[in-house]
Structure 1
Amino acid sequence: MEHGSFQDESQATFSLTDEDHTLANSLRYTLNQDPRVTFCGYSIPHPSDARVNIRVQTTGVPARDVLKDSCQDLMLVCQHVRSTVDQAVMEFKNKQWVESMNIK
């Protein structure tokens, strides 16, 4: 859900339900890496409410587009991390298997 001025699409506050610091802080970091972003921050209105509000202000590009791009970038980072971990686990298991075959 988006709140903000309809005349100025370069700034908006997005409310994400069923989310917490994990996603919000990751998105904040990713958004702040984008040169189109002039300000980004998030808040959690109340600890018992599973909701985060993310404020995005840009150089003029619609904030919605920048948030969407950042979500896609974050997804790619997560896919890379997952792939790297899976590869490391596979290599470790293969090494363990080879070592167990060489027991004398």
Structure 2
Amino acid sequence: MTDVNPKRLQKVHSSKDDDDDEKCQTYVITGEDHTLAGALNLMLHKNPDVRSAGYSIPHPLENKLMLQIAVRQKAKTTSDEVFKKALNDLNNQCQHILKTFEVACEMYKEKAGVNYSEDERMDVS
């Protein structure tokens, strides 16, 4: 499992909810939109320790999203750990999709007899 780059997390700020509990927090992520939020929300809902998760974008002109995570009280984890796991799971899934796509492209090229030079290849990294 690959870890999330700490520099990327500088755009994430968290605030504990009223009860000052580590099992329920709201994260404010700047510079992201529904694309990341929807995917993270899906990953969070797959985790059995998550009681609820949801996101909102306060205003279309504000460049931020708010993601709220509540972990089950009996779970032996915190909302921070669940959030990091969701980010890592999403990253791993994206890497798998990219590798599968690249393999399929290479198989197609071999079957079709296409031979692209390195200069003509699309860089998706």
* TM-score using structure 1 length: 0.89
The CA distance in 2 between the partners of 1:30 and 1:39, in whole Å, is 12
Deviations 1:4-53 (A, max 9, x none): 14731000000000000000000000000000000000000110112110
Q: Are positions 1:37 and 2:53 aligned together?
A: no
Which one of the candidate residues 83, 86, 97 is aligned to 1:70?
86
Aligned residue pairs total 98
The CA distance in 2 between the partners of 1:50 and 1:33, in whole Å, is 27
1:74-93, aligned counterparts within 5 Å?
74-93=90-109
- The structure in which a higher percent of residues are helix is 1
Which one of the candidate residues 24, 38, 63 is aligned to 1:50?
63
The CA distance in 1 between the partners of 2:109 and 2:63, in whole Å, is 38
The CA distance in 2 between the partners of 1:29 and 1:80, in whole Å, is 17
The CA distance in 2 between the partners of 1:41 and 1:7, in whole Å, is 19
Q: Secondary structure at the match of 1:76?
A: helix
Q: Cα offset for 1:62?
A: 1.0
Q: Which has more radius of gyration?
A: 1
* TM-score using structure 2 length: 0.75
The 4+ residue runs of structure 1 with deviation greater than 3 A are none
Gaps spanning 5+ residues in structure 2: where?
1-12, 115-125
Letter of the 1:3 counterpart: S
The CA distance in 1 between the partners of 2:62 and 2:105, in whole Å, is 37
The CA distance in 1 between the partners of 2:27 and 2:107, in whole Å, is 41
The CA distance in 2 between the partners of 1:50 and 1:90, in whole Å, is 38
